[in-house]
Structure 1
């Protein structure tokens, strides 16, 4: 195990080195006057639908005879980037007077394409020396935004670039559209357009190391920081009140229970037992569906490890603004490398509860999360192909991901299982003997049922993170940039603590009512926060965003379902582990005959 752990750490270090150098060009970003500067056009799409993006030349811009594509890494492709050489030539420190790209006569069909794009608030994205640039295609005037039938549509035909530089390095790029240099596309008729551009260079004192700071300023503004810290303080207050409340109650109740369940020598031997001690012969009875339960714990442990590694990379600055595809690359590689952890923990728990079918546990562990993710991807990729969007993965990328799963994920999964098999299996070692036949569970009121307990268990952890959720959603499903990973990590720790304490409290109350089937209940209660997060998805989509259309709706709810399912497995594992420690402790502390 030490050797495999060391290999995993080395792989993470190599991954960090690779991710921290994801750029669009091999250049060191130093130029002399007149040098060529790499300029790439990326994609276009509706501003409010971040997943619905198309290749830049899918719209009838002036395009060369042979479009030169940039070779992209795995993360960039997964991010939907499709970079091609832009139709502009901006050499270092060379001012450009208005210069024509081409004069093009737009057909009625092309006019309709541009008009549709302008009415849908299409924006385009480019990269100049690795700096992102955005711009809108045009503007429209309409009295009713919902009914754009009589809107007056104008297409911008001139683009002006203002480029800031410091000595031999480019610091910033701004794009401006002349509101007077427009073409009227309101009517369905052919139009002749002279697409032009110009550029001016302005010297600045801003150092090269700070050129990306402006992209993260929205997260660092005093107003936003106050909201973030308010979220953290609110969460901390919730944790302190909850933990203090539960600690006092549980300590008092358990103290009374220990006194009650530990009679002195003069006590009557046949004293009637009740409460959680009464079911000591059933509380460690193995759960139903042992294979599924062990696979869920193994997968949840893997996802928890994956999350910790992602936070480590974020806190050391790997995911700086517009390090394109770094996060997706990290997710794919770390998920593959941590599959051995899933195999190890699933096998360890499965064999401890006397499981026998090792093939079944490996198949379940390997497919419990990746299976639903795969089917979701197949459906959404088909939708993206139908829309001809950049979100559709090329066949080569799909083959690469399949090879990673086949050659890395699956062997490591088996290796993790093999590592456990080679270690002496200590067994479950329950502090109490288990009766041959289970006791009958008393009839419980509705508020002690599984669904009611899940609702109570998920609400408190969700209330500790919901403020921060808006900023995460606005970053993932919008155009804001999230960079305050330290605060996010604190919120994540708070989430784990609240989940563990709530699950422990509900487990105690369940055992006190002589309900000994706590294994699955603790897992479901711990993971119920994932269901609350998915409920927040509904609220965010319909109340806080302007997303629309079948493709964007499918991508949002499809991939968020996978994310929330991952949270369900991860937090369910945290909840069960906390409950298991608690249950072992209280039954170790009493004398059970």
Structure 2
């Protein structure tokens, strides 16, 4: 009955989580709606440029070939052009560098042609512009907290959807020479879609912005009046990134192709420059169908088309879970229970079970005040003692033989305890992020919120990390709990901080916006040492001194039993790979969507957290059941060193995920450059490390509970 109840609760929870798929991680766009009167000045912010072909991002305002900010005050906004917007920690870490621009937008005021500036670009700036266009960089602008979007339609042309950002330029090949030519998009048509504001603001004629579309265009510099072409709609030649002959004919005209490096000007001639004129158009269009509360939906339309694939991932996961559940049920309900019943009828002595003649039935065991275990000796009935000569001996093998060694202090307990503590800390962080994302607290309008809240949850979870680490450390016989607390608080954060600092050197060298400022590094260091470390210390003290060690049903033997030779599939590497392949099979379909949004389409927003939550819960259950099966097989092979292996069994699927990252990098991505490759594999390794620590803790705690349950199920009262 208890098993049936647990299964009912389990499937009820899965159905509840599956119901979350309908919202795809619905979002709470804000607590106050920004409404605009006719003629209000609308600020446009420029952020950064990014590309799917490289991991290097750049601040838009720092590009050497765009218009420099004028520094003038924007009337009606209180903002100054060129001033930086205050960012949260998550925005800084994700490479955002938001700045007030000189683009002038006034509510409901169309502007068909507006000249911005003409920027002179030298050879270094031109080389940078070619690099940006060649690598397919996208620009991110922001209006009313909405990123500029490129508009597309679905294959059946029934719906429109957005992709964040717009192209910085394009390339083609010269029809005569065959050389590659690069063009900069120096004109942007901005379309602001609006809707009548809800409530009282709408009655007062105010509007809300529900869409921000950007359509870039390349326009040649010639035939311009006051910096603007005579007719924007009749321009057929783009602004090519090339140096023409200068006035003194000292520079050879040559197009910039992939192998061209500009040379210096000879004979003291002035450096050649290219003047790029920038302009823009603004149009306001009413959209009656799109409400302000649903204005982010167009960014997710393309993800909704993959709903059937998400359901396929869930069905695949449930099938694997059902098979594992059946295997675990057989182990617990038949194999172990049957052997326990046999053990309850006999007495263990020197590796033999001496079975009496029970033709007249069994008498109840004598009560004892000592806590017993599965293999505790039971006083035999005097009548049975009289018949001892008629008893037969039967060999004891498998997990029954090592009952006196399974609770032996593990060889690497001083490392295992901090690993489990760090994993528990990461599990709490991941669960918190997933729950907040499913209920819309973390949404695209909260830019950088996922990283900021993740750091906050990780720091607070330090108390739980210290508790589990300290208590396990005490259980493993440790005495230096302060040292263990420092190791627990420094193990993962220290490795993470050191890795990020080294990677930051590469990013700094490329002048990327993803380079973490020195002040932010000191802030992260302060959060680690001044908040997280004390919390881990307090939790470790409570777990070590107050909660005390976990009680074991059987005492360990003084002399450890020798572990026999193991079959090939139970050797460390083979066992890890086999155990890790099962959880990987549960999640690899969903990983396709995660990878596509993280690596292949960084301009997109992964927002089907309902599906991800279901897969994550199933994944944890599969890791638990896989660990139970793997530990049981190991115990049957008379290998009592299960502690570290149970952790490795749980974390082993991280190896498969990293291999899948390498496969995805090779066959799906087009990342170029050594630095981008190093960043990709380092970030992938860190992500797999986080996953491995979290699932390793799940594996160890499950294996520990399983062993305690098995060897403590039969007790003598």
Pick the aligned partner of 1:198 from 281, 287, 296.
281
**1:27 CA drift (Å):** 8.2
Distance 1:44 1:273, change over 3 A: same
Distance 1:63 1:125 in 2: 17
TM-score, normalisation: structure 2: 0.75
The SS at the match of 1:305 is helix
Task: Decide which moves more: 182-191 or 513-522.
Answer: 182-191
The SS at the match of 2:628 is helix
Instruction: State the partner residue of 2:340.
Output: 258
**1:131-530 pair list within 5 angstroms:** 131-133=146-148, 134-142=165-173, 150-167=179-196, 168-178=207-217, 180=236, 182-186=238-242, 187=255, 190-205=273-288, 206-221=290-305, 224-263=306-345, 266=356, 268=391, 271-423=394-546, 425=548, 427-477=549-599, 478-530=602-654
Instruction: After superposition, give the CA deviation of every residue in 1:136-178 in whole Å (9 maximum; x if it has no partner).
Output: 122111399xxx9920222222211111111311111111134
Instruction: State the partner residue of 1:79.
Output: 94
Q: How big is the alpha-carbon RMSD for the aligned residues of Structure 1 and Structure 2?
A: 2.3
Distance 1:151 1:302 in 2: 52
Unaligned runs of 5+ in 1: 1-19
Greater helix content: 1
The SS at the match of 1:193 is strand
Task: Decide which moves more: 472-481 or 263-272.
Answer: 263-272
Task: Decide which moves more: 251-260 or 406-415.
Answer: 251-260
Distance 1:242 1:322, change over 3 A: same
Instruction: State the partner residue of 1:29.
Output: 34
- The question of whether the paired residues in 2 share the 8 Å contact of 1:44 and 1:56 is answered with no
- The question of whether the paired residues in 1 share the 8 Å contact of 2:48 and 2:59 is answered with yes
**1:529 CA drift (Å):** 1.0
The SS at the match of 2:395 is coil
Instruction: After superposition, give the CA deviation of every residue in 1:176-229 in whole Å (9 maximum; x if it has no partner).
Output: 1345362122436643332111111111212111111111222212xx000001
Distance 1:241 1:135 in 2: 47
The SS at the match of 2:539 is helix
Distance 1:143 1:520 in 2: 63
Distance 1:70 1:149, change over 3 A: farther
Instruction: State the partner residue of 2:200.
Output: none
Distance 1:308 1:202, change over 3 A: same
Structure having the higher Rg: 2
Distance 1:34 1:288, change over 3 A: same
Distance 1:447 1:65, change over 3 A: same
Distance 1:341 1:161 in 2: 50
Distance 1:103 1:308 in 2: 51
Distance 2:296 2:29 in 1: 14
Q: Does 1:129 align with 2:144?
A: yes
Distance 1:569 1:111, change over 3 A: closer
- The question of whether the paired residues in 2 share the 8 Å contact of 1:56 and 1:124 is answered with no
Distance 2:690 2:216 in 1: 44
Instruction: After superposition, give the CA deviation of every residue in 1:222-259 in whole Å (9 maximum; x if it has no partner).
Output: xx000001100111111112211332255332234224
Unaligned runs of 5+ in 2: 1-26, 72-81, 149-164, 197-206, 219-235, 243-254, 257-271, 347-354, 358-390
- The question of whether the paired residues in 1 share the 8 Å contact of 2:69 and 2:101 is answered with no
Instruction: After superposition, give the CA deviation of every residue in 1:561-584 in whole Å (9 maximum; x if it has no partner).
Output: 112112111111111111122212
TM-score, normalisation: structure 1: 0.90
Q: Does 1:533 align with 2:572?
A: no
Instruction: State the partner residue of 1:58.
Output: 63
Instruction: After superposition, give the CA deviation of every residue in 1:327-378 in whole Å (9 maximum; x if it has no partner).
Output: 0101111111110111111111111222101122112211221121111101
